[in-house]
Structure 1
Amino acid sequence: MSIPVVGEPAPTFTLPGMIVRDGVRTDDEYDLSSEIGRTIVLAFYPGDATPVCTAQLCSYQEELDEFGDLGAVVWGISPQALDSHEAFARDSSLTFPLLSDTAGTVIRDYGVRAPGLGLRRSVFVIGPDGIVRWRHVGLVGLRFPKASVIRAEIEQLVR
């Protein structure tokens, strides 16, 4: 699949995910189409507890309240299973949902699959209307968009 372009409808999906809040893990199904009306930040990352992924998701965690103040929700997506996500969330104090795409279906639908690497580190901002409003797709995966850059894009949506 090709990478969705800004202005196109975001590919919808339902994935299993989990969230750790106040030390309690809660599993759920996360359905993008049920989030119409909210801005969603999809952060595709290659692996739990790897140095760059940890830095990336921890930086988004630091901005989580500010994203929330703008009406935006952050979902992390990677190919690892929920138990791996739980350990990562606990070790890194992440309190937003981590979704498990073990089959790689959503990774393929968003065009971010990278042979040998698993996936390209990518961030998509999906507007309340379900349209892709901003995207950053990494080539190698060592760099990621800063939370402040994503926040600025979200702020433009809510003006």
Structure 2
Amino acid sequence: MPATGDAAPDFTAPLANGDVDEFSLSAELDEEAPIVLAFFPGAFTGVCTEEMCTFQDRLAAFDDLDASVYGVSRDSPFALNEFRAQNDLEFGLISDFNKEIIDEYGIAMDFDDLGVYGVAKRSVFVVDADGEITYSWVSDDPGVEPEYAEVEAAVEDLA
């Protein structure tokens, strides 16, 4: 699992942004850094919806810092577009349908009792323009949300 100070694992994946486009972390760093990657287990679930809606509510603060926010989950890009629409999310959601990003970041989690395997642990990584992780937070408890003010402070430190 990458930690603060490590190079962020690069990836290319579908981006749900109303359409379905391609997102490549390394390609976006030049124009959109710092980038906040907010991994969540699954769209349309209680805590995940609350988390993404809280990032939406705080989006102006990230915009003021010239930072970009992206949610990341195993959901298909089509499901993520519906999730965005139903929750009025203005930021893009990255589909890791094949679990490649989750594996690369070492944050896979299983819900054995539900028969659900390989979803993302709730995690947040801030990546600077050089591709370095300047903030990382990973929870083993899917019911715990990140400290949003802490994420904002980490981004502000890069300004």
What is the TM-score normalised by the length of structure 1? 0.91
What one-letter code is carried by the residue in structure 1 that aligns with 2:28? Answer: E
Q: Which runs of 5+ in 2 are unaligned?
A: 112-116
**How many angstroms does 1:26 deviate by?**
2.1
User: Structure 2: which amino acid aligns with 1:12?
Assistant: D
Q: Map 1:4-153 to 2 at 5 A.
A: 4-19=2-17, 25-37=18-30, 38-116=33-111, 118-153=119-154
Residue type of the alignment partner of 1:18: A
Report if the CA contact (8 A) 1:43-1:77 is conserved.
yes
CA root-mean-square deviation: 1.1
Do 2:19 and 2:81's aligned partners in 1 also have CA atoms closer than 8 Å? no
Gaps of 5+ in 1: 20-24
Note the alpha carbon deviations across 1:14-71, whole angstroms, 9 max, x for none: 010111xxxxx22210100012231000010001111000110100001112101111
**How far is the alpha carbon of 1:102 from its aligned partner?**
0.7
Residue aligning to 1:155: 156
CA apart distance, 1:147: 2.4
Amino acid at match of 1:122: S
Please give the alpha-carbon distance, in whole angstroms, between the structure 2 residues aligned to 1:46 and 1:115. 10
Read off the aligned partner of 1:29 and give its amino acid letter: E
- Looking at structure 1, the residues matched to 44 and 142 of structure 2 have their Cα atoms a distance apart, in angstroms, of 15
- Structure 2: distance between partners of 1:67 and 1:61: 10
Which 4+ stretches in 1 moved above 6 angstroms? Answer: none
SS in 2 for 1:141: coil
Secondary structure of the equivalent of 1:36? Answer: helix
Deviations 1:66-113 (A, max 9, x none): 101111101111001012111111111111001111110000000100
Q: Within 1, Cα distance between the matches of 2:148 and 2:66?
A: 15
Alignment length, in residue pairs? 151
